Amino acid sequence: MKAAIITVSDRCSAGLREDLTGARLRELLIEDGYEVLGIAIVPDEINRISRELIRWCDETGCDLVLTNGGTGVSPRDVTPEATKAVIEREIPGMAEAMRMESLKITPYAMISRACLAVLEGPKKTIM
């Protein structure tokens, strides 16, 4: 299985902060047997996020694309909107399960607007 990671962060994309989350996700995916094709870092902009999702799914043949960042409630948190703009079907139960697990670690999980979706068939999943 092939995977990619998209980190959504104004600061990381500007080189002001290191992408620790993307690096950790890469480690976890490799531990689970995925071939990680790459990590993209984009600013909190709907069009940039959507284009990156489409690029990984259409041009690279990724089976799984993980996004991180941009799911909170600030005006710049637009990852869910960018994801929903390009998906075929949302999988809300998986997002709820992720929030429940995250609540065991941090109360901030409650404000996550993360979504999971299928893009172009059942083998292409975006989280």
CB 21 within 8 A of CB 41: no
Q: Of 16, 121, 45, whose CA–CA distance to 6 is shortest?
A: 45
Stretch 5-23: mean pLDDT, rounded? 97
Where is average pLDDT lowest: 10-19, 66-75, 97-106, 109-118? 109-118
| Number of domains forming the structure of the chain | 1
- Domain that residue 13 falls in: 2-126
Supply the CATH number for residue 103's domain.
3.40.980.10
- When pLDDT is averaged across residues 34-62 and rounded to a whole number, the result is 94
Torsion angle defined by CA atoms of residues 100, 106, 110 and 115, in that order, rounded to the nearest 10 degrees? -60
> What local confidence, expressed as pLDDT, does residue 120 receive?
57
What Cα–Cα distance (Å) separates residue 124 from each residue in 15, 20, 40, 43, 98?
30, 25, 17, 23, 19
Q: How confident is the model at residue 122 (pLDDT cuts 50, 70, 90)?
A: very low
State the CB neighbour count (10 A cutoff) for residue 103: 13
Greater confidence (89 vs 33) lies with 33
Region 30-59 average pLDDT? 95
Give the tens place of pLDDT for each residue, 71-109: 999 999 999 999 999 888 899 999 999 999 999 999 999
